[in-house]
Amino acid sequence: MTDVSKKSDFPILKRRIHGKRFAYLDSAATAQRPVVVLKAMDEFQRKHNANTHRGIYLISEEATALYEGARQKVAAFIHAQPNEIVFTRNATEAINLVAYAWGRANIVTGDNIIVTEMEHHSNLVPWQLLCKERKAELRVVPVTDEGAVVMKEFTKLLTHRTKLVAVSGMSNVFGTMPDLAVIARSAHRKNALVLVDGAQLAAHVPVDVKKLGVDFLALSAHKMLGPMGIGVLWAKRELLEAMPPFLAGGDMIREVSLQTATWNDLPWKFEAGTPNAVGAVGFGAAVDYLTKLGMGSVRRHEMALTAYALKKLRHIKGVSIYGPTSARLKGGVIAFNVQGIHPHDLATLLDREGVAIRSGHHCAQPLMQKFGVMATARMSFSVYTTKQDIDQCIAAIAKATKVMA
């Protein structure tokens, strides 16, 4: 197994934590940023800081070019068109944009929306609210004991009154990756649309929205080696054209009178107010970095790490692993528990050994309830993760079992 990126590209990973080498295994929550991303954002703020689309002076034109250049990079990364890329604060806002702008214009009493048991709260609660408001039905597809979507049940739940299927491209708990192309084809036969929460997916595998055939895709830069506070909604152009604005204010208008207003072209119709231009520039730099690595190489790297970690975990007495047991069937995410140790206690003990993992319900409480646990521990990987990181984590878990015995 060869590393796809250099650990030295990520300054934060040079830190010593409690005097120990730093093994960061919480990339599913937030990925770390390479130097090229930090430099791109710093240079923007030092040399090009101005409002985009507003000024005719040089640095404003430079800021606009960099902002729109980032949009083009994200579009190319997922094989879309730039005018289909709407910048948002994060994937959560992207999903809420669809719920408010598309959902409130299209969902009526008696309709239904389909989700799965593995959804992050960000791809569940907006649809709960919309269904309650519109007196529609929220239908839930179960998952198997390995976290796979039960496709037979999905087919049963899908009807001519289904307007939307909202599904995670990769579970942030199990790493499960449903067959999105199959889901999209089935949904479209019933004239339903498909929204994919791609927050985890796009950071780990190649994504081509044309091949997937889905209708909406939500992304978060901070999962993809980029900054916090910026994300993307991709949607088919005809859907964006038909949707009313989500937020109103400056830059999303064409003309305004005291009584009426008309809207700007796509995608600016959905980007009210001063944008997070520095965040977009950082996102663009992150996409450049991932593109240079090659997403196929990223996927192979993480599969090898996941297989290695699964094998090591199984050798520790009292460990329960949730979700797929094969690295081929999941992303670089492993949820587990250690008998007799609460996940929060385990995370605290591992922190003392320089190892950062996540503990809790991972914003997926219904999934935790299904498996009869309040919380799990979770290790997750990225391009900078190494076997040494995993070995350090495994050794820390083994030490914790002795401490808590």
Find the mean pLDDT for residues 82-95.
98
- What does the block give as tokens for 374? 């309040």
Pairing type for strands 112-116 and 85-88 reads unpaired
Find the mean pLDDT for residues 74-97.
98
Q: Which of 99, 80, 102 is nearest to 91 (CA)?
A: 99
**Domains contained in the chain, CATH given:** 7-32+295-403 (3.90.1150.10), 38-292 (3.40.640.10)
Burial 160-177 (b: 16+ CB within 10 A, else e): eebbbbbbbbbbbbbbbb
What residue spans of 319-405 are helical by DSSP H?
Answer: 343-352, 365-370, 387-403
Question: Which single residue is written with the structure tokens 């985890």?
Answer: 200
Q: Which of 230, 286, 205 is nearest to 10 (CA)?
A: 286
Question: Which single residue is written with the structure tokens 């950062």?
Answer: 356
pLDDT at 404: 82
pLDDT at 2: 53
pLDDT at 54: 84
Q: Which of 39, 63, 33 is nearest to 225 (CA)?
A: 33
Confidence class of residue 4 from pLDDT cuts 50, 70 and 90? Answer: confident
Q: Return the DSSP state at 269.
A: G
Find the mean pLDDT for residues 52-66.
95
Question: 3-state class of 1 per DSSP?
Answer: coil
Q: Which of 231, 141, 232, 240 is nearest to 182 (CA)?
A: 141
Least confident of 3-17, 41-55, 90-104, 337-351: 3-17
Question: Which single residue is written with the structure tokens 């950071």?
Answer: 203
pLDDT at 405: 64
Average pLDDT, the chain: 96
298 neighbors 202 (Cβ within 8 angstroms): no
379 neighbors 172 (Cβ within 8 angstroms): no
Cβ contacts of 120 within 8 Å, gap of 6 or more? 168, 172, 197, 199, 362, 363, 364
- What does the block give as tokens for 30? 């937030």
Confidence class of residue 1 from pLDDT cuts 50, 70 and 90? Answer: very low
> Structure pTM?
0.96
Q: Which of 99, 126, 222 is nearest to 172 (CA)?
A: 222
pLDDT at 52: 95
Query: 224 pLDDT exceeds 80?
Result: yes
d(CA 390, CA 23): 8
Question: Which single residue is written with the structure tokens 């204010």?
Answer: 249
Active site residue 363: yes
Query: 331 pLDDT exceeds 60?
Result: yes
Tens of pLDDT, residues 294-318: 999 999 999 999 999 999 999 999 9
Q: Name the residue with higher pLDDT: 405 or 105.
A: 105
Q: For the chain, give the percent of residues with pLDDT over 70.
A: 99
- Choosing from 363, 373, 395, 398, the catalytic residue is 363
d(CA 349, CA 34): 28
d(CA 207, CA 331): 14
Amino acid (1-letter code) at residue 283: F
Tens of pLDDT, residues 372-399: 999 999 999 999 999 999 999 999 999 9
316 neighbors 339 (Cβ within 8 angstroms): no
Q: For the chain, give the percent of residues with pLDDT over 90.
A: 96
Confidence class of residue 3 from pLDDT cuts 50, 70 and 90? Answer: low
Tens of pLDDT, residues 145-194: 888 999 999 999 999 999 999 999 999 999 999 999 999 999 999 999 99
Query: 325 pLDDT exceeds 90?
Result: no
Cβ contacts of 353 within 8 Å, gap of 6 or more? 18, 20, 392, 395, 396, 399
